Amino acid sequence: MHSSTGAATLQQPYGHHWRSTIRPRILERDGNACRQCRREGRLDVAHLDGDNTHDDDANLCTLCRTCHVRHDYPVAQARAKLTRCERKDRSRPILRLAA
């Protein structure tokens, strides 16, 4: 989920309905293979818009771990940069210019 500033907010864990109904339906729809590289095996169901509360079938697709990481990388990179900046700012006092 994203806030109005575009920053990612805390993700909620997936529940029983996701594991028992939604995820199996998407895996079956996509032929139990990654939609990017057609690899089979260990597969994820990815939220294309990054919002894990948006479970419309059009927003979900099956991806292998490699393709899922590639898909999520830009958001993860931006989140990591924001976290680093916030941590850095907390560790340094604000400089005050003498008038």
Domain membership of residue 4 (yes or no) is: no
Q: Write down the pTM of the prediction.
A: 0.66
d(CA 95, CA 76): 30
Cα angle for residues 79, 56, 45 (degrees, 5° grid): 60
Domain membership of residue 98 (yes or no) is: no
Domain membership of residue 20 (yes or no) is: yes
Query: What does the pLDDT read at residue 34?
Result: 97
Query: What does the pLDDT read at residue 95?
Result: 63
pLDDT in tens, the chain (99 residues): 444 444 444 555 778 888 999 999 999 999 999 999 999 999 999 999 888 888 999 999 999 999 999 998 888 888 888 888 787 777 776 665 665
Domains contained in the chain, number = 1
Domain membership of residue 2 (yes or no) is: no
Which residue range is the domain that position 84 belongs to? 16-91
d(CA 96, CA 21): 57
Domain membership of residue 66 (yes or no) is: yes
Q: 51 near 2, Cβ under 8 Å?
A: yes
Query: What does the pLDDT read at residue 87?
Result: 78
Which residue is listed with tokens 């924001």? Answer: 82
